[in-house]
Amino acid sequence: MKSFIALALIATSLFAGALADEEYCQNSVITACSSSTFSANSICNARFAGIDQIEPEVQAYINSQLTKSYEYLLLATHFNSYQKNRPGFQKLYQGLSDRSFDDTIALIKQITRRGGIVDFNTRHESAASVSTQRQTLEVDELQSLALALDNEKQLATGATHVHTRASHSQQHDPELAHYIEENFLGKQADTVRKLSGYANDLAKLMKVPDPSLSVYLFDEYLQKQ
């Protein structure tokens, strides 16, 4: 029993020595709380693990999600016009727009929960979040599916990039990696698979002299999804 207690005391002293140089909120909370707000460099916050290194990557992904939501909304409006009159395509792109917007809100909540700040006045870019600038979104049905598929692949790549950074960076963040895996990776893979199927099916249906009936029937199919 005495030997066990001795080992426990040694382990405790080693642990305390290893953390002797660490900063703790309790060491500065009185000074920090004496002012009306915590300073930007205060350690009395919700930040821990690798959030400092990964926060710019998540900000870039938030920007990408919000941009895609806007692009999908423009596509939905385009196909809801009296000239196009494609309620099935309008429903598809309105749903994707709403989903990307909801994902943007969810990511903002996640970052702020971890003590981060989302600043839309600062543009954060990463290799996975760069998208090609397009002059117009007034495209036909098949081109719109190809555009949506490209968008979803970019979002899937962005989610994978954030997950990889959170999992394998020098100061990794398991909690954030788990959040991205649970809420984005599988969902993005499913959407890529669905849109790739739509694009291939419609491309085959349009291999006729007059594809207008094929497009109409495909739009009817999308309305029922």
pLDDT along the chain (225 residues), means of 10: 51 48 59 53 70 87 94 95 94 97 95 84 56 63 95 96 86 88 95 97 92 94 94
Give residue 139's pLDDT.
Answer: 87
Give residue 221's pLDDT.
Answer: 96
Binding-site residue ranges for Fe cation? 152, 188
Interhelix angle for 87-113 vs 51-79, to 10°? 160
Structural domain range at position 60 = 50-224
In a domain, 177, yes or no: yes
Give residue 43's pLDDT.
Answer: 67
CATH number at residue 89: 1.20.1260.10
In a domain, 80, yes or no: yes
Residue type at 175 in one-letter notation: E
Contact 148, 93 (CB under 8 A): yes
Rounded distance, CA 23 to CA 49, Å?
14
Give residue 155's pLDDT.
Answer: 97
Give residue 182's pLDDT.
Answer: 94
Q: What is the pTM assigned to this prediction?
A: 0.78
In a domain, 32, yes or no: no
Give residue 134's pLDDT.
Answer: 52
Give residue 27's pLDDT.
Answer: 62
Give residue 14's pLDDT.
Answer: 45
In a domain, 74, yes or no: yes
Rounded distance, CA 60 to CA 54, Å?
10
* Domain count for the chain: 1
Binding-site residue ranges? 152, 188
192-196 contact pairs (CB < 8 A, 24+): 192/149, 192/152, 192/153, 192/156, 195/145, 195/148, 195/149, 195/152, 196/149
